[in-house]
Structure 1
Amino acid sequence: MATTTLPLTAGTAAPAPTRGAQRAHTARTLPVFVLSALLATGQMYVPIPLFTALKADWNVGAGVMTWIISAFAFGYAGGFVLFGPLSDRYGHRRVLMTGMLVAAVVTLLTGLAFSAPLAVGLRIVQGLVVGSIPPAIMAYVATRITPAHRPVVTMSVATSFLAATVIAQIVSQAVVASFPWHTVFIGSAVVFAVLAVALRGVMLDDAPTGRDRPLRHSYAAIPAVLRIRPLLPMLVAGAISMAVMVGVYTGLELSGVVTGSGELLALRAGALPVMIALPLLAVPLARLSKHGQMVLGVLVAAAAMVAATFEGTHLTVLTILLAVLVGGLGIIAPAVLQTAGELGGESRAAAVSVAMFSFYVGATAGPLVAAAAAPHGFSVLAWTLAILLVAALAMTLIGLRLQRKTQPA
């Protein structure tokens, strides 16, 4: 049996994309999408440099701080599933702009939280609302960006989701060095509002959607995605990879292997050149199959993590190894997202939502893994994450085997 695109609803083939549809201006759209992706996903990571200030302000332990990260990741993952299908139904532009504006309000409220329990609750809501943004962006790219430009745009946006891991921490660390921690969230709220206005200017009007169908049809694609057997192992591998990404940076903060603010900044900034280079690799990487890209990414990341178990106490070496790790993980996410989008048919946002949901289920687990392993030393943390990457490799190979079975002879 051949692998086919996901039907719009159970038992109904998705209509083919409209020929001659109006295309967005890539040069104007891409920078705004990249900034929006950085800001949205960056909200997960901005609290990491704030741990010391938050613990002092709220008089809580380090364990509570990991929940500040996981609470957002939990809501973020739920937001993909909730709002991704609505993006297909009501229009990507409408859902994206509404999500940005509501995110501005909730982010502002999060910055005004006066206790840890309140902050955790607000972080769940913040994650849920911000979760409306990435599926709408990725679905818009898949439908309104010129096909020849899509690989580079997809890689750029997907890399931005990963780059937020580092950039958000750098910005947050710089701000909290001179201003109260509240300023980070208040500033983020302002940027959300500004980018909503920018998106209104660069995005095309929404094409006609299926709003005449019952709402349940918008969600029918989600269980259908989960029935695509070759995709499931890829989703698991993507989840594990994101757990490693979040876990390593949370663990650096908790393990104490690096204590000085300058050293932490160097570790975070060291991965930026790799992240900038990843979109340039989109074309050569396209010569590999999606599974081939994932195998390459997991092998690179696992090798870096294993090496870190022996050289994790040397700042320069650790900075290089973390950059290599991020480079490997940065290859995996676009491969999973593109595969999900290709199989999604007219329900691309729903399919991408499921893929991103899997990523941030993994992200939810990352801080918890770090909290369990980091107190025993960075070497234990690195070995734990390396083992997780071996599991991701196994899932990728299982997915490849299943794909070969479903292909016609």
Structure 2
Amino acid sequence: MSRLTTLRRSTSPLATDRPPRPDNRTAPTVALLTTLGILVVGQMYTVLAMLAPMADSLATTPTQATWTATAFGFAYAAGFLIAGPLSDRYGPRTVITGGLMGATVTTLAVSAAPSLTWAVTLRVLQGLTAATFAPSAFSYIAAHIALHRRGIALTCVTSGMLAAAVLMQIGAQVVAAGLGWRMVFVLSAALIALSLWPVRHILRPTAAPDSTPSLLQAFAAVPRLLRRPRLVALYLATITLMVAFVAVYTAVVVAGPPGVAGDNSALLALRASALPALVAVPLLTSVLHRLAAPVRVVLAMSVAAGAVAAGSALGGDVRFLALALLVFVAAVAAAAPAVVEIVHTMASHARGAGVALYACSMFLGASLGPQLAGALFGQGFGGILRVVAVLLVLGTLLSLPALVGRRHNR
């Protein structure tokens, strides 16, 4: 190969897979994005720990109050389809900053909701503004984190987003018990506002590529990606995974076994029991990455299905249920970053749009989780978990085409 040919290839705008310049901000960047993942994504889950007090305050029932979670989730999922292309066009830091400013206002507004109708409406607005974070964070990692560190960065950030379901429920339960549910949103708004300073000082602007897509081109990438069957199957598998994840935690609250249901201390302990898994998975990144991302997804989905099935059979024992939840959450935490890796590869030059569709499917599933648990309430805790286990088996089957794609790409 001639020197001229080498030079042309190295400077070509199509050479998007070249590693980014060394960045000594990797550790603070990952810490910031992980923390923001907990705080921002956690707004989806805070209400699950406050269904009873919110229902009393808003003159409704806890089952009806689950719509405050579903409304946020649907808006959050839809917002990704806007945020991803915006991130491709204007850069992740700009979109994250604007979204955090909007989320501060809308989160504070939820605290003043006088009725369930207003609470649901304001949660829709909160979800739309919060949706700017996840796809922009993933795009930022792809653009600024060196390739050999990208796996641990993705694992930490996705684990933070999953940990939000546990940590923010615990925080919301504690704050609501002492200060009332409205103060949960006031404190959340304050923390989101405070995060603007580190975002501006730690995150770097993304350098414009040689050929920046127009806004119309960035949005046009979304339907093009949906014409790829293996990607669509992966998105559907993600929906089933997140339906299962949120449905299990909702079932614990609304239909939990006798040793847990109605006992705030037991609920707090059960939620906290999954935290070791969310810490362990990032620490085991180097071990997990010995397996290709498609293999990790299929294995993790299979383990998740087995853990939930076991929990449905022996969930009456709180200690066994805690162990089943630990394994289940670990499997979900291992699957999520592997899916992002596959999407990054398959979406190629439309990574912002590809990740936006992933994040959309992720929280579309999270939005449906509470409704599935509510609809199956009459089946009891074990019945809900059995349906969830079947759903995870379906998700495993949907993830299999990614393995076929891996063989074709060799």
TM-score (norm 2): 0.92
Q: Does 1:400 align with 2:377?
A: no
Q: Deviations over 1:73-122 (max 9, x none)?
A: 10110111111110110111111111111101100001111110111111
How is 1:169-188 mapped onto 2 (pairs within 5 angstroms)?
A: 169-188=169-188
Pairing 1:369–2:362 present: no
Per-residue Cα deviation, 1:42-90 (whole angstroms, up to 9, x for no partner): 0000011111111111111233122111111101101111111101101
User: Are the equivalent residues in 2 in contact too, given 1:47–1:68 (CA < 8 A)?
Assistant: yes
1:175-214 equivalences under 5 Å are 175-208=175-208, 213-214=213-214
Unaligned runs of 5+ in 2: 1-12
Q: Secondary structure at the match of 2:287?
A: helix
Change in CA separation of 1:282 and 1:20 when aligned onto 2, cut-off 3 Å: closer
- In the other structure, the counterpart of 1:34 is 34
Alignment match, 1:86: 86
**Equivalences for residues 325-344 of structure 1 within 5 A:** 325-344=328-347
Task: Tell me: CA distance 1:70–1:24, structure 2 relative to 1, closer, same or farther (3 Å).
Answer: farther
Within-5 A mapping of 1:351-366: 351-366=354-369
Counting aligned pairs with the same residue, the percent is: 33
1:262-308 CA deviation, whole Å, 9 max, x = no partner?
Answer: 10001100000110111112111111122210121112111111111
In the alignment of these two chains, the number of paired residues is 395
Local SS of the residue matching 2:195: helix
More deviation in 100-109 or 295-304?
295-304
Q: Secondary structure at the match of 2:349?
A: helix
Contact 1:91–1:209 at 8 Å: present in 2 too? no
**Cα distance 1:110–1:24, how it changes in 2: closer, same or farther (>3 A)?**
farther
Structure 2 CA distance for aligned equivalents of residues 138 and 51 of structure 1: 31
Correspondences of 1:119-198 after superposition (within 5 Å): 119-198=119-198
Give the TM-score normalised by the residue count of structure 1: 0.92
- Note closer, same or farther for the CA distance 1:399–1:148 as it changes in structure 2 (3 Å cut): closer
From 318, 322, 331, the equivalent of 1:315 is 318
Instruction: Say which SS state the counterpart of residue 47 (structure 1) adopts.
Output: helix
User: Is the CA contact (8 Å cut-off) linking 1:49 and 1:172 kept in structure 2?
Assistant: yes
Residue in structure 1 matched with residue 283 of structure 2 by the alignment: 280
Conserved 8 A contact 1:15-1:346 = no
1 or 2 for the larger relative contact order (CA 8 Å, sep ≥6)?
A: 1
Number of the residue aligned with 1:4: none
The alignment partner of 2:376 has SS state of helix
Q: Is the 8 A contact 2:69 2:367 kept in 1?
A: yes
The letter of the residue matching 2:358 is A
For 2:5, the equivalent position in structure 1 comes to none
Distance 2:379 2:276 in 1: 31
SS at match of 1:204: coil
Is contact 2:311–2:324 with CA below 8 Å preserved after alignment? yes
How far does residue 24 in structure 1 lie from its aligned partner after superposition? Answer: 5.6
* 1:387–1:350 CA distance, 2 compared to 1 (3 A): same
The 3 A distance-change label for structure 1 pair 36 and 210 is farther
Q: Distance in 1 between matches of 2:339 and 2:392?
A: 16
Which secondary structure state, in structure 2, belongs to the residue aligned with residue 207 of structure 1? coil
Distance 1:112 1:193 in 2: 18
Contact preservation (8 Å) 2:344, 2:355:
yes
Match 1:269 to one of 259, 264, 272: 272
CA RMSD of aligned residues (A): 1.8
Q: Shift of the alpha carbon at 1:366?
A: 0.7
Residues 407, 33 of structure 1: alpha-carbon distance in 2 compared, 3 angstrom cutoff: closer
Could you say what secondary structure the match of 2:66 adopts? Answer: helix
Match of 2:65 in 1: 65
The Cα offsets for residues 182-240 of structure 1, whole Å up to 9 and x where unpaired, read as 11001000110111111111011231268975421111211122122222222111110
Offset of 1:374 from its aligned partner?
A: 2.5
Whole-angstrom distance in 2 between the partners of 1:46 and 1:16? 39
What's 1:5 paired with?
A: none
Counterpart-to-counterpart distance in 2, 1:168 and 1:203: 24
Q: 2:46·2:172 contact (CA, 8 Å) conserved in 1?
A: yes
Distance in 2 between residues matched to 1:396 and 1:162, nearest whole Å: 20
AA partner of residue 373 (structure 1):
L
